[in-house]
Chain A
Amino acid sequence: MFGIPAQVLFGQLLLGLINGSFYALLSLGLAVIFGMLNVINFAHGALYMMGAFVAWMLLTYLGINYWWALLITPIVVGAFGALIERTLISRLYHLDHLYGLLLTFGLALLIEGLFRNAYGVSGLPYTIPAALAGGHNLGFMFLPNYRAWVIIASLVVCAATWVLIEKTRLGAYLRAATENPALVGAFGINVPRLITLTYGFGVGLAALAGVLAAPIYSVNPNMGADLVIVVFAVVVIGGMGSILGAVVSGFGLGIIEGLTRAFYPQGSSVVIFVIMAIVLLVKPAGLFGKTA
């Protein structure tokens, strides 16, 4: 097809979907946090890395398997995030939003540096759980089960988040507090607690992405450092306006990146940034964003 072997094309398409799954989960968390706190969470990549490490620690030190890690890790890392929000970030809300960015950047350096000191940079293996080992031959390509699982899990989590925010009472409080925190507080809802919960939830999503990533990429202190910048670009392209926007642009850009790798490999690492430049020229608020 177009001079590219179908195997290569579908292989890169699959890889693009996998990357897109992580972009979607991470940009979703960033968007949820930004909507409520007006803070761009630079530590998102570091917390994603922590998610992978906590899963690895649970398995290595406590013998807790992948499935339990999938449940426990987001709670543990999310609680850590809530602690950070309570003790540090919440003290900056009355200041320029840039301080939130600077603080979380410092936290990212701190967390990544500590893990690098403790575990080095060579990366630790995490074996694919037995139930998801192997794969299927689809005729036109080989589909490893685990990779299919990651895509499905990401889609399900994104959909569940959408339901949570758009269709439940808690989500209604959250959306109301995003619009007008003072009024929602006057109705007797504990807005600061809602904010802490939101940050913890966004961080939990990042940690979940980390657990999903652990068996694919090696567990490495640097795994989130460069990723978070690409996710920033994804968020700028999609606009922070909607959950759907974060998910669609996450998957869409993952696929575009994969296709670029198939047709023009040299361009694959910059294609997302080029698209960002074009979007800034054509629609500065982002594809799904409201004009600020």
Chain B
Amino acid sequence: MMTANGDARIVLPAPGIAAGMPRHHVLIFAGLLVLLLLAPFVLYPVFVMDVLCFGLFASALNLLLGYNGLLSFGHAAFFGTSAYIAAYAAKDWGFTPELAILLGTGAAALLGLVIGALSIRRQGIYFAMVTLAFAQMVYFIALQAPFTGGENGIQAVPRGKLFGLVDLGNDLSLYFVVLVIALGGMLAIYRIIHSPFGQVLKAIRDNEPRAISIGYKVNRYKLAVFVMSATLAGLAGGTKAIVFQLASLTDAHWTMSGEVVLMTLLGGMGTIFGPLVGAAVVVGIQNYFSGVGAWVTVIEGAIFVLSVMLFREGIVGILARWLKKSL
């Protein structure tokens, strides 16, 4: 990627930074915006909000997995923690929804700092196992802590009024708030991966020893991107808690961590739009098959196996290869 060069401080400009966003990305984001503005009038708004929350969640994981090569199998910890804190703040402290979500997101960021600092001490598969184990610890705490409501979770969370003014009880007005959060989050991720910082992340992903030898403090970059990813996962979790008026053990369970990995893998790791597509497919399947018990698990398992064996690039990854464009 980089020719040998004496200067350790050189940062290559990412293609597209000087010229701003490439035209086809602008077009896709614009098309997505139009589509999502129309969606609640065609589809059930809560379903689309579900897709948006998980799209953001999967994009947050993708920032870590696709662009830094770190597979976290414990992202439910951040999603779930933020969901619980946001739900508690909105219900018991009467916070307005935006403050509740912010508080949850902040908690997820703090947790990300602690878990991240410990987890990056191991690499590769161990990293995945360690994050999974920490997430399970968070799950057990959620199960036993007095304020989480145990098996029942925190139910009937009020959606409240945005900034104390706009009533979000109406699905449609809530929808546009969620749309702004999800697209804003995705654009933030876009900005991160196309910054010089993002270039270093990719260099670490592609060849860590080399990045170290060039002089980068690799662990600082890893921790920074881990915290960013955890924060955005928390943003998704807090938003989800307000949308569904519920924070429950499901949000913090390892199956949730697995699901978000599946969304990212299926949509395309290391692609910008893949996680959103993957989230739409998986949430769609869950809704469609929700009446038939454990078959959802079987289908998800089968998609996992098929994706790993046959479609490692994911849906958007394959499209990108056909179109010869980065997506």
Which listed residue, B128, B136, B296, touches A273 by the CB 8 Å rule?
A: B136
Query: B136's contact among A88, A111, A226, A236, by CB below 8 Å, is which?
Result: A226
Q: Which of B128, B133, B295 contacts A276 (CB 8 A)?
A: B133
Please determine whether B308 and A109 come into contact, CB atoms closer than 8 angstroms: no
Check: A135 CB closer than 8 A to any chain B CB: no
Residues from chain B with Cβ under 8 Å of A108 in the complex: 301
A40 to B118, CA, bound (A): 20
Q: Can you identify 9 A-B contacts, CB atoms within 8 angstroms?
A: A98-B124, A98-B125, A113-B295, A113-B297, A229-B133, A236-B133, A269-B140, A270-B140, A280-B119
Q: A34's closest neighbor in chain B, by CB? A: B125
Compute how far the CA of A113 lies from the CA of B296 in the bound complex, rounded to whole angstroms.
8
Residue A116 is within 8 A (CB to CB) of chain B in the complex: yes
Contacts of B141 in A (CB 8 A): 270
Judge if B102 is at the interface, Cβ distance under 8 Å. no
A182 contacts chain B at the CB level, 8 A cutoff? no
Known: A114-B298, A226-B136, A280-B118. A109 touches B130 (CB 8 A): no
Does chain B have a CB within 8 A of A133?
Answer: no
The reply on A232 being an interface residue by CB < 8 A is yes
**Are B126 and A236 in contact (CB-based, < 8 A)?**
yes
Stretch of A16-24, A99-107, A195-203, A245-253 that contacts chain B: A99-107
**Separation of A270 and B136 alpha carbons in the complex (Å):** 8
Which residues of the partner chain B approach A180 to less than 8 Å between Cβ atoms?
none
A101–B298 touching, CB < 8 Å: no
In the bound complex, what is the Cα–Cα distance between A276 and B130 (angstroms)? 8
Q: Please tell me if A131 contacts chain B, counting CB pairs below 8 Å.
A: no
Q: Are A274 and B137 in touch, CB under 8 angstroms? A: yes
* A284 interface hit (Cβ, 8 Å): yes
**CA separation between A229 and B129, bound complex, in Å?**
8
Q: How far is the CA of A113 from the CA of B134 in the complex (A)?
A: 24
- Cβ of B172 to closest chain A Cβ, rounded Å: 35
Q: B137, A101: Cβ atoms under 8 Å? A: no
Most buried by B among A95, A109, A117, A232: A109
Q: How many residues of B contact A (CB 8 A)?
A: 42
The size class of the interface chain A forms with chain B is 35 or more
State in angstroms the CA–CA spacing of A276 and B129 once bound together.
11
Distance from B84 Cβ to chain A, minimum over Cβ atoms (Å): 16
Q: A40-B128, A103-B308, A273-B133 provided; 20 other pairs, C-beta below 8 A? A: A97-B124, A98-B124, A99-B312, A102-B261, A102-B265, A102-B308, A105-B258, A105-B304, A106-B300, A107-B301, A108-B301, A110-B302, A110-B304, A117-B294, A117-B298, A229-B136, A230-B133, A232-B132, A233-B133, A280-B119
* Chain A residues in the interface with B (C-beta under 8 A): 38, 40, 88, 91-92, 95, 97-99, 101-103, 105-114, 116-117, 226, 229-230, 232-233, 235-236, 266, 269-270, 273-274, 276-277, 280-281, 284, 292
With a cutoff of 8 Å between Cβ atoms, the chain B residues found around residue A97 in the complex are: 124-125
Q: Are B137's CB and A109's CB within 8 A?
A: no
Q: Is the Cβ of B301 less than 8 Å from the Cβ of A281?
A: no
Q: Which residues of A contact B119 (CB under 8 A)?
A: 280
Q: Find out whether the CB atom of B305 lies under 8 angstroms from the CB atom of A107.
A: yes
**Minimum CB–CB distance for A50 against chain B, Å:** 14
The 3 closest A-B CB pairs, nearest first, are A106-B304, A109-B301, A110-B301
Contact partners of B294 in chain A: CB under 8 A:
113-114, 116-117
